[in-house]
Structure 1
Amino acid sequence: MAECILVLDAGTTSTRAMVFGRDGKLASVAQAELTQHYPRPGWVEHDAEEIWQKTLSCMREAVGEEGAEDIAAIGITNQRETVVAWDRGTGVPLARAIVWQDRRTADFCAALKEAGHEPLVQEKTGLLLDPYFSGTKMRWLLDNDAGVKAAAADGSLAFGTIESWLVFRLTGGVHISDASNASRTLLLPLEGADFDEELCELFGVPRAALPRVVDTHGPLAEAGAEWLGRTIPICGLVGDQQSATIGQGCLSFGETKATYGTGAFVLTNKGAKVPRSEHRLLGTVLCQGKGKRTYALEGACFVAGSLIQYLRDQLGLIGSAAETEDLARSIEDSGEVVIVPALAGLGAPHWKPDARGVISGLSFASGRAQIARAALEAMAHQTHDLAQAFAADGAAWTRLKIDGGMSANDWMAQDLANILDLEVERPDFVETTALGAAMCAAVGAGLHPDLPAAADAMRGNAACFAPDMDEEVRKARLARYARALSAA
């Protein structure tokens, strides 16, 4: 009996294929970087065909020549909010994908706010009017791309987020989106089973171009035999941040995780109750099985690991991300250097799309080490802003589970515990985004009866970091960050 899960993890900077056993052990992995396109300041694009081709190559490499017989199901997790437009007849992309980080629709969002539409949008979807979300990107493509406009006119247009795009290609034409990704479009009510006609009309998105909304786990579709030599059921679809929450085992009310990848994303499980925020946090679908939803409260910071990448690739201050930990430990403090990493605007709880990054406190004593340490400290500062907003919404954290590539940095993990003044837990296997998709697919394929059982079987051990910072030092750090934030 096949008992392995093939996970396709379509991230922002790379795409991966990973094979997991039903016990959660990683058997193989293949990864390929994705080209980042920045045609104008604030614009970020991907080539959807490149995403598909590299995903296909990775899945074949990870499975190997004989491995497909052991694959019970496919799970897909993905960068959320990124929009692909394609021709539903040919499967050919009509334009570059607009990435979640893209800010080109800021003016459109501002106009909708000015017209008084945000309360309706927030009440229905749990989201705010910000370029981050998918609906305004769809509208921009309809208004500005001739191919997309023509396809909408003749009924051949298909819109989707990345999991929807990959399923379409894997299946040869099935057009679906899971509830966790659909809840990020501005078009799906948190309490509605399908996309909302009133919201589609508000954003000017044709309902006919949108996918069918399905569960995050269950028998959802079937990948064609031409890809791996046999048909394989697709049994898990889940947005990356929801997937990491599941992978961390945050399946009970109040449990909280933070993922530090390209951005930083915090989700708190809110159970079956639709979350409502008074402090600029987001309500979202965590998962859905057999039509029954579990919700989460979310805060998102747009820049985390991408700040370290910026120091490496744009400024040339470091040769690798791993250098930052040694640099941070080489000095006693940052020498009052503070970074506000608003390189793509500010996310929750500020929601300032026009904000720009700030480095303050520079002196002749400031060098590579001070800037690298300030970049790591920025992770804790941003997370502290979110912690205050969650507490104000009645969802104070008692412990924080962390994951993602940056969380492997021990210095940063300890700094989080110090600034948040609470225990931080990090699993030994930090790639919980892929693990969560594996759990969803395992449940969908019947390898485990439900998500809690999958978490018990598949989630490994964890390390804990306890706060250990003088309170006056902590207050001074936060005060310096607040001053720098006001300049952003």
Structure 2
Amino acid sequence: MDAVLSVDQGTTNTKALLVDAGGTVLARGSAPVGVAFPRPGWVEQDAADIWRSVELAVRDCLAAAAGVTPAAVAVSNQRESVVAWDRGTGRPIGPVLGWQDARAADRCDELARAGLGGAVRRRTGLPLDPMFSAPKMAWLLGAAGPGGAGVALGTVDAWLVWRLTGGAVFACEAGNASRTLLFDLATLDWHDELLDAFGVPRAVLPEVRASDAGFGVTADLGFLPPALPVAAVLADSHAALYQHGCRLPGSGKSTYGTGSSVMAPVARLDDPPAGVATTLAWLTGRPTYAREGNIIASGAALAWMARTLDLPDATHLDKAAEAVDDTGGVHFVPAFSGLGAPYWDRSATGLLTGVTGGTERAHLALAALESVAHQVADVVEAIEASPGAAIEVLHADGAATASRRLMRIQADLLGRPVRVTDLPDASALGAATLARQALGLTASPVPAGSPGVEAAPAAAGTLVEPALAAGVRAARRAAWSGAVARSRVRTPLAESPGTGR
């Protein structure tokens, strides 16, 4: 059977799916991944723990597969997080610096004051922000010692490829590379001036490969058959975009994970509007670019509120919010480590505003759900600031889409339909789809003029239509904007060490 084993390595868990040639999931496995917050603004993981989670998830998946052996492996992964390891031993050097980590905010400030921000944005499509990989790479190199001799440095996909191939392949996928602040979107390679500016030698970085170029074959790992081709790699948000069939301008998606990524393809590489980035969605026969805005805390905001309200988990927020139709004027801005797109303000601080003596648990639960939908609406509006970038229907995936209340709120605040996928694990499925296409294990045609890109699947899922009057929508959006403005007022607390800029 021509099945693909797709490994989706995320911030808080790793999933493994065995997907047949028709896209049907034959088996699943998963394992948690720890996240540590040793200081305000610092977010760390353990590279060995990440690899153990891959092994556990794959073992569980293949054990449930009733003897089906995969023909290939695909990978999707959390982005911007950085791993350093010893080339000789393969042992991790220091912690994984997570994508939420803001410890390099001061360094980004220094580079911005030196006038580098404009050059970074022109070359990479990204704002100069500590969420992206380069300043984290520089920090890890500094911690590794003089010169970084013998150090391998990469995004999570490079670490997984290294381990899957037994150290035979040191390569990262181009879409992941585009999230580092070191990758030139026009030349599709590391840029020497940016490498020098951030202090990251080319010698420590992996080779950049196209998304479907092949990443070697599996080593004899004990939990996975050897000599399986690692056929395709995609960053998780990009893989979800691929799975939704968003290939052309006018389409777009939002992934509701620990954070959120709102992404929409664009016709050509040009300057993005303020507040959002241009990224390389995937590189196959030719590059596909997209506009994107990254939200730092969405699922994390729901989890925080659930803990605060002493609920078992975020899935109980819908029930907790049932008693009210509105938040009673309460707004929750989850700027735990500042705000991402479209503000890119690491000095912003989290706040609850509008709380009165009449505020109840239900108001707080609903305010958390609304905080996620408002942040996504902020990014969609920023993406649409450039001509021809309207998103007619927003495709939605990720764990939080299980909240029917959240999806209704999202459609209302956007004033347009939201199509909620009826298939979980969009990122893993997207990577599997590309792997099948790369190996010729699918009958789906390739559109003319789009070499290496499989035809978009028919849209699937539940369509949620907006029901909020335009005037009410405008008032709610304006009130949210006021709350965000208050979170961005600089205070002595916001200037304290470790909280960002």
Which TM-score tier does this pair reach, normalised by the shorter chain? over 0.9
Q: Does 1:160 find its partner at 2:154?
A: yes
- What does residue range 364-379 of structure 1 map to in structure 2 within 5 Å? 364-379=357-372
Q: Does 1:27 find its partner at 2:26?
A: yes
Please name the residue that 1:4 is paired with: 3
Q: Does 1:245 find its partner at 2:241?
A: yes
The structure 2 residue matched to 1:298, chosen from 273, 282, 292, is: 292
Please name the residue that 1:400 is paired with: 394
- The answer on whether the counterparts of 2:295 and 2:339 sit within 8 Å (CA) in structure 1 is yes
- Pair 1:69–1:25, CA change in 2 (3 A): closer
Structure 2 SS opposite 1:70: coil
Structure 2 SS opposite 1:94: coil
Please name the residue that 2:72 is paired with: 73
Please name the residue that 1:484 is paired with: 483
Residue 453 of structure 1 deviates from its aligned partner by 4.1
Please name the residue that 2:227 is paired with: 231
The structure 2 residue matched to 1:206, chosen from 187, 201, 204, is: 201
Structure 1 SS opposite 2:349: coil
Residue 30 of structure 1 deviates from its aligned partner by 1.2
- Deviation larger for 388-397 or 401-410: 388-397
- Pair 1:210–1:68, CA change in 2 (3 A): farther
Structure 2 SS opposite 1:283: strand
Please name the residue that 2:335 is paired with: 342
Structure 2 SS opposite 1:231: coil
Q: Percent identity?
A: 36
Residue 69 of structure 1 deviates from its aligned partner by 5.3
Q: Does 1:422 find its partner at 2:441?
A: no
Please name the residue that 1:411 is paired with: 405
- The answer on whether the counterparts of 1:339 and 1:375 sit within 8 Å (CA) in structure 2 is yes
* CA distance in structure 2 between the aligned counterparts of 1:352 and 1:220, rounded to whole angstroms: 37
Q: Does 1:263 find its partner at 2:259?
A: yes
- The answer on whether the counterparts of 1:439 and 1:454 sit within 8 Å (CA) in structure 2 is no
Residue 15 of structure 1 deviates from its aligned partner by 1.1
Structure 2 SS opposite 1:274: coil
- The answer on whether the counterparts of 2:330 and 2:363 sit within 8 Å (CA) in structure 1 is yes
* CA distance in structure 2 between the aligned counterparts of 1:447 and 1:87, rounded to whole angstroms: 36
* Amino acid of the structure 2 residue aligned with 1:444: A
The structure 2 residue matched to 1:308, chosen from 273, 288, 302, is: 302
* CA distance in structure 1 between the aligned counterparts of 2:195 and 2:113, rounded to whole angstroms: 19
- Pair 1:69–1:431, CA change in 2 (3 A): closer
Instruction: Please give the per-residue CA displacement for 1:406-444, whole angstroms capped at 9, x wherever unaligned.
Output: 112111111111111011111211321111111111112
The structure 2 residue matched to 1:219, chosen from 214, 218, 229, is: 214
- The answer on whether the counterparts of 1:407 and 1:430 sit within 8 Å (CA) in structure 2 is no
Q: Does 1:282 find its partner at 2:281?
A: no
Residue 323 of structure 1 deviates from its aligned partner by 1.1
Residue 153 of structure 1 deviates from its aligned partner by 4.2
Structure 1 SS opposite 2:135: helix
- The answer on whether the counterparts of 1:334 and 1:371 sit within 8 Å (CA) in structure 2 is yes
* CA distance in structure 1 between the aligned counterparts of 2:368 and 2:284, rounded to whole angstroms: 39
* CA distance in structure 2 between the aligned counterparts of 1:399 and 1:66, rounded to whole angstroms: 36
- Pair 1:267–1:460, CA change in 2 (3 A): closer
Instruction: Please give the per-residue CA displacement for 1:247-278, whole angstroms capped at 9, x wherever unaligned.
Output: 1110123311111111111111114x214213
TM-score of the superposed pair, with normalisation by structure 2: 0.92
Please name the residue that 2:166 is paired with: 172
Structure 1 SS opposite 2:29: strand
**Structure (1 or 2) with the greater helix fraction:** 1
Structure 1 SS opposite 2:371: helix
- The answer on whether the counterparts of 1:218 and 1:441 sit within 8 Å (CA) in structure 2 is no
- The answer on whether the counterparts of 1:275 and 1:295 sit within 8 Å (CA) in structure 2 is no
Please name the residue that 1:471 is paired with: 470
* CA distance in structure 2 between the aligned counterparts of 1:110 and 1:407, rounded to whole angstroms: 36
Residue 197 of structure 1 deviates from its aligned partner by 1.1
* CA distance in structure 2 between the aligned counterparts of 1:160 and 1:191, rounded to whole angstroms: 21
- What does residue range 38-53 of structure 1 map to in structure 2 within 5 Å? 38-53=37-52
* Amino acid of the structure 1 residue aligned with 2:2: E
Structure 2 SS opposite 1:259: strand
Residue 21 of structure 1 deviates from its aligned partner by 1.5
Please name the residue that 2:60 is paired with: 61
- The answer on whether the counterparts of 2:334 and 2:371 sit within 8 Å (CA) in structure 1 is yes
- Pair 1:85–1:67, CA change in 2 (3 A): farther
- Deviation larger for 273-282 or 38-47: 273-282
- What does residue range 76-91 of structure 1 map to in structure 2 within 5 Å? 76-91=75-90
* Amino acid of the structure 2 residue aligned with 1:121: V
Residue 330 of structure 1 deviates from its aligned partner by 2.1
* CA distance in structure 1 between the aligned counterparts of 2:162 and 2:188, rounded to whole angstroms: 21
Residue 66 of structure 1 deviates from its aligned partner by 7.2
CA RMSD of superposed structures (Å): 1.7
Residue 472 of structure 1 deviates from its aligned partner by 2.9
* CA distance in structure 1 between the aligned counterparts of 2:291 and 2:154, rounded to whole angstroms: 23
TM-score of the superposed pair, with normalisation by structure 1: 0.94
* CA distance in structure 2 between the aligned counterparts of 1:405 and 1:66, rounded to whole angstroms: 24
* CA distance in structure 1 between the aligned counterparts of 2:440 and 2:23, rounded to whole angstroms: 15
Residue 473 of structure 1 deviates from its aligned partner by 2.2
* Amino acid of the structure 2 residue aligned with 1:246: Y
Structure 1 SS opposite 2:217: strand
Structure 1's unaligned 5+ residue stretches are none
- The answer on whether the counterparts of 1:6 and 1:75 sit within 8 Å (CA) in structure 2 is yes
Please name the residue that 1:189 is paired with: 184
* CA distance in structure 2 between the aligned counterparts of 1:250 and 1:194, rounded to whole angstroms: 25
- Deviation larger for 407-416 or 216-225: 216-225
* CA distance in structure 2 between the aligned counterparts of 1:38 and 1:176, rounded to whole angstroms: 29
- Pair 1:220–1:142, CA change in 2 (3 A): closer
- Pair 1:460–1:60, CA change in 2 (3 A): farther
- What does residue range 450-469 of structure 1 map to in structure 2 within 5 Å? 450=446, 453=454, 455-456=456-457, 461-469=460-468
